């Protein structure tokens, strides 16, 4: 049972330490947000960085207690919120190896983002406000991953959504930023509605929202059905799990609820790295892994998860090929990698999903922050067609970007290889063992996604850091991009406001890409920007090598000695569905794993993507324009993002607006006009007529009586 004590030790995790982990970032956020004007810029970043640093150090200490000292998991309620009948609502923590790993990832990445923000937001008028927001986000995410009940999970779930809304629209004077944060808010509400219904289903079936109680009694709903529509019986476990996963689809940006994440790039780059690459968007992955005892009860739900993940992994990655905005390329890469994690969940490789979550957090945060460094060096220009040749101007940014790219594409011995290849192997194992067409589709989708990822990743690298220095020709008016798939003018991406326009509120005019009257002279970013890049590059290279054995295959670091599974007690699954245990028989250490990686189809597909990008964007860039003409129709489909934006904006949101207008018309004209006002008007007319008849003269009444008598005789005479 997740959260149960699986090890016996005199070492115990301190409640006060866990409270400090959560409350330190909250305190920093409050001080920076409420007293920012009094403590100034230096005070704001000092208190928030100190708060997150304390949280990071203590999170590492908690993980060391669990892993190195054999401390039992912590599961305890700290505060009773309310009690209604038999239903209790508590604030409490469940800290096992799964949540401790998430705590370290969240706080470490957040700490580096805080440091990076000092340089990136140096000239922003909302400096203190920004630090308050990102520190508040860290608190919210920690409450989510450390919760021991569904209600607190939902609190953290909504809190990170709220802070995301505030940060995407941080530059609130930009219409595109306001549109983007509203889009994110509305799409996530769709997912959260399903999530809330799933929690309601848990409460209905188990009478409790406590993880330990629900997981311990999970087998009792196996085979139980519920009738939602007359004549159709649904498995209770399937209904609950699909509803919970709909919440994950919104938060972790799975098709078709993915449309908000690319537009969230309207916010400052630091939040792209913190929220939309490393932490918040992985909340859905973490949640499904935590709910593994429930998902293991429904094969249908897992098949649904697998199909959605495979579709997201391949088809959102394809859109990244046609993007020119450097941050949007990385954003679509994030969507694709979230799809890989979801595929792992669908094949019951929960440990592989959260392991890729961890490694991805490092190298994807690195790529986002490197993109931000490029934006700084290019005076807030984001269009890769206006870059090129930046390698010699920004060497630290270049080499760290190269490391992040190699990790992302799954180069053997890099961290991304160990996690990504494990997911591909798990999907392949299930595809060969299962007759389901969904499993086969998922395997081929993640394999094809390797080629796509490699192609757009190296395309970004070449367009930005290699080739002609195109930024010198921008103001001369004869810039010509080598990009194959976005050559034409008027591309939809050009309609989006870039971050340089957001900086227009707070940066001097000569700091704009648009504000220059001569060639842009790139420069390396300051140390507060490059130091986080270097610190993220280290785990992007090394963390996979040293953790793949213990975390995925139950061995020591070098794969020699068997150990208890790392996530034992945190992730629960049926032995017959233990995909990673089946793969563990072929694991002989990280070196052998990486060397074997050179022989797999995934490596050669990644190499093919690298080779094609090298030819098209470095060796013979004139081939790009030719490819654009050949693949005109597919390119336009990708530029249109398969029409999902139109579906949501014109269909869902537009339909909602039309429904509201129709409702208003019905309310105004039919209900108010005919029913309410019409009834009152009719009564008034009748009353007015009756008042005219009541004259008070006796001869009027006598005359009326005579007329009535004549009418009565006229009616009765035919019946005689």
How many CB atoms neighbour CB 22 within 10 A? 20
Joined tokens for residue 441: 């589709």
pLDDT-based confidence at 477, cuts 50/70/90?
very low
Q: Residue 119: which of 711, 594, 525 has the closest Cα?
A: 525
Would you state the pLDDT for residue 655?
Answer: 67
CB-neighbour burial class of residue 642 (10 A; exposed 0-12, middle 13-18, buried 19+): middle
How many CB atoms neighbour CB 488 within 10 A? 13
In sequence order, which residues have a C-beta less than 8 Å from that of residue 685 and are 6 or more positions away? none
pLDDT of 107 higher than 50: yes
Who has greater pLDDT, 88 or 671?
A: 88
Average pLDDT, the chain: 86
pLDDT-based confidence at 27, cuts 50/70/90?
very high
CA distance 227 to 449: 39
pLDDT-based confidence at 418, cuts 50/70/90?
very high
Give alpha helix (H) positions in 169-221.
175-206, 211-216
Average of per-residue pLDDT across 63-79: 92
Cβ 134 vs Cβ 110: under 8 Å: yes
pLDDT of 54 higher than 60: yes
Cβ 350 vs Cβ 271: under 8 Å: no
CA distance 614 to 596: 25
pLDDT-based confidence at 510, cuts 50/70/90?
very low
H/E stretch holding 234 = strand 232-235
E strands, 352-468, where? none
Which residues does residue 94 pair with via DSSP β-bridges, in sequence order? 75
Would you state the pLDDT for residue 337?
Answer: 95
Cα 429 off chain centre by: 28
- Helix, strand, coil shares of the chain, percent, nearest 5, are 70, 5, 25
Average of per-residue pLDDT across 84-95: 88
Of 2-6, 178-182, 363-367, 520-524, which has the strongest mean pLDDT?
363-367
Would you state the pLDDT for residue 468?
Answer: 85
Could you give the count of Cα atoms lying within 13 Å of 426 in the half-sphere of its Cβ?
30
Average of per-residue pLDDT across 398-402: 96
Q: Buried (b) or exposed (e) across 110-132, using 16+ Cβ within 10 A?
A: bbbbbbbbbbbbeebebbbbbbb
Average of per-residue pLDDT across 407-414: 95
pLDDT-based confidence at 299, cuts 50/70/90?
very high
Q: Give the least confident one: 51-60, 82-91, 353-362, 642-651.
A: 642-651
- The full DSSP string for 509-568 is GGGSSTT-SS-----PPPHHHHHHHHHHHHHHHHHHHHHHIIIIISB-TTS-SB---TTB
In sequence order, which residues have a C-beta less than 8 Å from that of residue 326 and are 6 or more positions away? 371, 374, 375, 382, 383, 384, 387, 460, 464
Cβ 372 vs Cβ 276: under 8 Å: no
How many CB atoms neighbour CB 516 within 10 A? 17
Who has greater pLDDT, 25 or 646?
A: 25
Average of per-residue pLDDT across 21-28: 96
Would you state the pLDDT for residue 440?
Answer: 95
pLDDT of 357 higher than 60: yes
Percent residues over pLDDT 70 in the chain: 88
Q: Residue 347: which of 562, 101, 582 has the closest Cα?
A: 582
Percent residues over pLDDT 90 in the chain: 57
pLDDT of 493 higher than 80: no
Joined tokens for residue 604: 């050669």
In sequence order, which residues have a C-beta less than 8 Å from that of residue 372 and are 6 or more positions away? 116, 120, 269, 270, 272, 273, 327, 529
Would you state the pLDDT for residue 491?
Answer: 39
In sequence order, which residues have a C-beta less than 8 Å from that of residue 651 and are 6 or more positions away? none
Q: Buried (b) or exposed (e) across 570-603, using 16+ Cβ within 10 A?
A: bbbbeeebbbbebbbeebbbbeebbebbeebebb
Place of tokens 């993507």: 609
Cβ 387 vs Cβ 378: under 8 Å: yes
pLDDT-based confidence at 703, cuts 50/70/90?
confident
- The full DSSP string for 669-719 is IIIIIIIIIHHHHHHHHHHHHHHHH----HHHHHHHHHHHHHHHHHHHGGG
CA distance 179 to 185: 10
Cβ 153 vs Cβ 287: under 8 Å: yes
Q: Give the least confident one: 136-150, 151-165, 190-204, 263-277.
A: 263-277
In sequence order, which residues have a C-beta less than 8 Å from that of residue 89 and are 6 or more positions away? 80, 81, 82, 83, 149, 151, 209
CA distance 335 to 308: 12
Average of per-residue pLDDT across 213-234: 87
Would you state the pLDDT for residue 653?
Answer: 64
CA distance 400 to 391: 11
Average of per-residue pLDDT across 551-580: 87
pLDDT of 673 higher than 70: no
pLDDT of 11 higher than 60: yes
């Amino acid at each position: 049972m997740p959260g149960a004590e699986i090890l016996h030790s005199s070492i115990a995790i301190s409640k006060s330490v866990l409270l400090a982990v959560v409350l330190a970032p909250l305190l920093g956020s409050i001080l920076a947000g409420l007293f920012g004007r009094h403590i100034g810029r230096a005070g704001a970043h000092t208190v928030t960085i100190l708060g997150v640093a304390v949280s990071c150090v203590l999170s590492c200490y908690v993980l060391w207690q669990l892993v190195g000292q054999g401390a039992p998991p912590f599961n305890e309620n700290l505060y009773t919120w309310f009690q209604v009948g038999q239903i209790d609502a508590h604030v409490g923590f469940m800290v096992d190896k799964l949540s401790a790993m998430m705590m370290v990832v969240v706080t470490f990445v957040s700490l580096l983002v805080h440091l990076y923000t000092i340089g990136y937001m140096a000239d922003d008028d909302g400096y203190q406000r920004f630090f308050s927001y990102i520190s508040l986000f860290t608190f919210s995410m920690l409450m989510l991953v450390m919760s021991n009940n569904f209600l607190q999970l939902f609190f953290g779930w909504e809190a990170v959504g709220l802070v995301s809304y505030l940060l995407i629209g941080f530059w609130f004077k930009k219409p595109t930023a306001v549109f983007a944060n509203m889009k994110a808010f509305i799409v996530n509400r769709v997912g959260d509605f399903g999530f809330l219904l799933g929690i309601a289903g848990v409460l209905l079936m188990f009478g409790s929202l406590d993880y330990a109680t629900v997981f311990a009694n999970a087998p009792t709903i196996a085979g139980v059905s519920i009738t939602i529509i007359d004549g159709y019986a649904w498995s209770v476990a399937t209904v609950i799990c699909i509803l919970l996963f709909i919440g994950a689809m919104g938060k972790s940006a799975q098709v078709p609820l993915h449309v908000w994440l690319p537009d969230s790039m309207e916010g400052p780059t630091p939040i792209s790295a913190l929220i939309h690459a490393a932490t918040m968007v992985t909340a859905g992955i973490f949640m499904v892994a935590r709910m593994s005892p429930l998902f293991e009860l429904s094969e249908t739900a897992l098949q649904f998860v697998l199909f959605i993940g495979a579709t997201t992994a391949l088809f959102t990655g394809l859109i990244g090929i046609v993007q020119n905005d450097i941050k949007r390329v990385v954003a679509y890469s994030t969507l694709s990698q979230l799809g890989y994690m979801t595929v792992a969940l669908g094949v019951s490789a929960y440990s592989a999903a959260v392991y890729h979550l961890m490694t991805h957090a490092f190298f994807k945060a690195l790529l986002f922050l490197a993109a931000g460094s490029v934006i700084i060096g290019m005076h807030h220009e984001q269009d890769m067609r206006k870059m090129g040749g930046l390698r010699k101007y920004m060497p630290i940014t270049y080499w760290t970007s190269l490391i992040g790219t190699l990790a992302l594409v799954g180069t053997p011995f890099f961290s991304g290889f160990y996690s990504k290849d494990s997911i591909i192997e798990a999907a392949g194992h299930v595809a060969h063992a299962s007759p389901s067409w969904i499993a086969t589709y998922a395997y081929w989708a993640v394999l094809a996604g390797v080629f796509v990822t490699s192609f757009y990743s190296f395309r970004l690298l070449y367009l930005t850091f290699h080739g002609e220095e195109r930024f010198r020709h921008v103001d001369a008016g004869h810039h010509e991009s080598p990009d194959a798939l976005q050559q034409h003018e008027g591309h939809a991406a050009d309609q989006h406001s870039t971050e340089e326009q957001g900086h227009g509120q707070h940066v001097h005019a000569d700091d704009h890409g648009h504000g220059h009257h001569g060639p842009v002279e790139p420069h390396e970013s300051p140390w507060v920007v490059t130091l986080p890049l270097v610190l993220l590059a280290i785990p992007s290279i090394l963390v996979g090598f040293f953790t793949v054995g213990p975390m995925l295959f139950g061995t020591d670091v070098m794969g020699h000695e068997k150990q208890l599974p790392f996530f034992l007690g945190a992730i629960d699954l049926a032995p017959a569905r233990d995909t990673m245990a089946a793969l563990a028989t072929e694991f002989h250490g990280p070196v052998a794993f990486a060397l074997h990686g050179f022989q797999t189809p995934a490596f050669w597909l990644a190499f093919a993507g690298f080779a094609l990008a090298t030819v098209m964007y470095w060796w013979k860039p004139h081939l790009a324009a030719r490819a654009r003409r050949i693949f005109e129709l597919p390119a336009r489909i990708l530029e249109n993002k398969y029409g999902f934006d139109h579906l949501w904006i014109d269909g869902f949101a537009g339909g909602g607006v039309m429904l509201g207008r129709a409702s208003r018309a019905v309310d105004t004209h039919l209900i108010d006009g005919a029913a309410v006002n019409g009834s009152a008007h009719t009564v008034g007319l009748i009353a007015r007529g009756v008042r005219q008849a009541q004259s008070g003269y006796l001869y009027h009444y006598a005359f009326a009586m005579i007329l009535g008598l004549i009418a009565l005789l006229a009616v009765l005479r035919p019946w005689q």
